[in-house]
Amino acid sequence: MNREQFRARLEQGVLIADGAIGTMLALRGVPTPYELTNLLYPDTVRALHREYYEAGARLIETNTYTANRVRLFNLPERGSEAPPTYSLLEQFGSPEELVRRINQEAVRLAREAVGADALVFGSVGPVGKPLEPIGETRLDEAEGAFREQMQALLEAGVDGLILETFIDPRELELAIRVARELAPDLPLIASKGFVEDGETLMEGLPERFAHTVSALGVDAVGANCVVGPQRMLDIVRMMATGTELPLSSMPTPGLPQLVRGQVVYDIHPDYFGRYAVRLVEAGAQIVGGCCGTTPDHIRAVAQAVSRTPVKRRAGGIRAVVRERKEEELPLAEPSRLSQILGKERVIAVELDLPRGLKVQKVIEGARLLKEHGVHVIDISDGARARLRMNVIAISHLVQREAGIEVMMHFACRDRNLLAIQADLLGAHALGIRNVLAITGDPAQIGDYPTATSVFDVDAIGLVRILRRFNEGRDLAGNTIGVRANFTIAVAYNPLAPDPETERDRLRKKIEEGAHLVYTQPIFEMRVVEETAELMNRLGVPWLVGVLPLRSARHAEFMHNEVPGVSIPEPILRRMAEAPEEDALAVGLEIARRFVAEAAPYAQGVYLMPPAGSAQIALQVIEAIQ
């Protein structure tokens, strides 16, 4: 089928699409990833397609939504609970062959299950991990994954492609470009998942989306998943004013809930069918369902819209995108650190958190350091994946009780994209303005090695989120009511095993909006001078990291077992030769001399005293003041 034939088919009447594949496979007890079912349980997939066809669906999507190499091979380590992807990989020999077979078998099963009057469209979803700079998936990696999957679907003879549930506009545009390069004359539906709330939708996002995507060479524009029929009706009405292309609408049957460990949806098929009529009346020419939609829902849709004529839109509606007058958002109060940076030599000291709830020592140490001229207290966020009090809570307590600003280290390990933004908004509301964006140590090295590391984004993506908040918007473009005023700090390791990659990541962090750079502990002036030259070229202030050594054992551990820390041989020898009772004094002397020499090269000093000792930090600070 070509594009002209597809459009002619839509002129004949509403095209009923199928419903959820994953939901139905889950109900049949099939394990994830569901796309493996094409190879492992082909009869189950074939029967499911047949159920949708018999319910009235004439646009059948292949069971390939996540059948790309990024999603399929982003799996747990091998083990008893690992999905069967590994055994299949051994069977088919390579990731390329496994991806090809999964997608091509999906097309074959769909073809065998339905009549000649049905269209089989290859389902293509996002690659499954956020793209750079929000996440770590490179654009060329995503492009390769799309190309590999789409090529397999095309070779198997799909009637068209449906790109569905895309959230990131850049990723959807990338997928559209790849699809058009591979198949210029194949029908292509582009569908977005609208995660935004009603207020944001009323600002005109669906119109702008429809208007923008229509110019990219697609044959239908749509929305699917996330929202139920009522909210979907609003979205379709808005999209209708932004494009003359056919509209696709595939809502969920309401909001999901967890019942006995299983996600279920409550909306009755009759209600779903009634709203399908309203969707058609609003301009939808393709109507089906997404997560939670069963053959019963699709049967209700087919019966309800059978007597509903297609709304003739081509040429009858001029694409209009309402431009909302941007409201000037108020600017939040800045941090004191941002006001003195570059004017005074900043002194930052990291204090360790004890386990549990006894935090008074930290507060007293922060109070003492403030009295001696320290500007900011650094609080780490689960460093080395150790269980400690929530970093937002202790940062707030220190600021409130000790009266000194905190640089809150904030890790991506424990939070998904939603929680990261929610926690940062909460921190800002509590007056925390300084954030050091870090990726975080893997959970496997910490107190609970079986805990799951999230890593939806890395430090570069976290910087972008903070910058977006400073612009008054969240990552999805929703207003947050004010322009936040975070001072954004980032980490840099001058002695990273791959220095070019480390410098490249630093440049990206600065491009995304970082204001300040912290270094790992440095022990050599040569490294200080090289780092100062790099920071001057990049035009960003920095704090030199200083770690006082307390013993020969401490020095040996830091040098040999902590990545990114290198202690010169003369210092290691001096610490080893010092009597045990004098080792701390020797370490303090080395630190004081180093600070006195290194401080003029940077805009400040970042002290990491052993055991978070405020008293040790004070003895080093004397060399700065």
Token pair 């998943």 in the structure block, residue: 225
CATH number at residue 505: 3.20.20.220
Assess whether 254 and 355 both reside in one domain: no
Does this model's pTM top 0.95? My answer is: no
Q: Is residue 324 part of a domain?
A: no
Nearest to 390 by CA among 378, 401, 382, 400: 382
- 341 within 8 A of 515, measured Cβ to Cβ: yes
Q: Is residue 331 part of a domain?
A: no
Domain count, the chain: 2
Assess whether 214 and 356 both reside in one domain: no
Instruction: For 415-469, write each residue's pLDDT tens digit.
Output: 888 899 999 999 999 999 999 999 887 765 666 776 777 778 889 999 999 999 9
More confident site: 583 or 456: 583
Angular region, 520: left φ>0, alpha ψ -120 to 50, beta rest = beta
Measure the CA–CA gap between 33 and 88, rounded to whole angstroms.
Answer: 12
Contacts of 469 (CB under 8 A, 6+ apart): 421, 424, 425, 428, 480, 484, 486
Q: Is residue 326 part of a domain?
A: no
Range of the domain at 207: 3-305
Assess whether 276 and 357 both reside in one domain: no
Measure the CA–CA gap between 66 and 490, rounded to whole angstroms.
Answer: 34
Bond into 133 cis (ω within 30): yes
Assess whether 284 and 361 both reside in one domain: no
Assess whether 257 and 345 both reside in one domain: no
Assess whether 467 and 612 both reside in one domain: yes
Q: Is residue 80 part of a domain?
A: yes
Contacts of 424 (CB under 8 A, 6+ apart): 410, 435, 465, 466, 469, 486
More confident site: 502 or 440: 502
Q: Is residue 186 part of a domain?
A: yes
120-124, 158-162, 191-195, 344-348: which range is least confident on average?
191-195
Q: Is residue 323 part of a domain?
A: no
Assess whether 244 and 351 both reside in one domain: no
Q: Is residue 97 part of a domain?
A: yes
Instruction: For 264-320, write each residue's pLDDT tens digit.
Output: 566 789 999 999 999 999 999 999 999 989 999 999 999 999 877 766 654 434 444
For residue 82, pLDDT beyond 50? no
Instruction: For 216-229, write each residue's pLDDT tens digit.
Output: 999 999 999 988 99
Assess whether 163 and 202 both reside in one domain: yes
The first and second tokens of residue 348, run together, are 């930052």
What does the pLDDT read at residue 386? 74
For residue 473, pLDDT beyond 60? yes
Measure the CA–CA gap between 506 and 527, rounded to whole angstroms.
Answer: 16
For residue 154, pLDDT beyond 60? yes
Confidence grade of residue 29 (pLDDT, cut at 50, 70, 90): confident
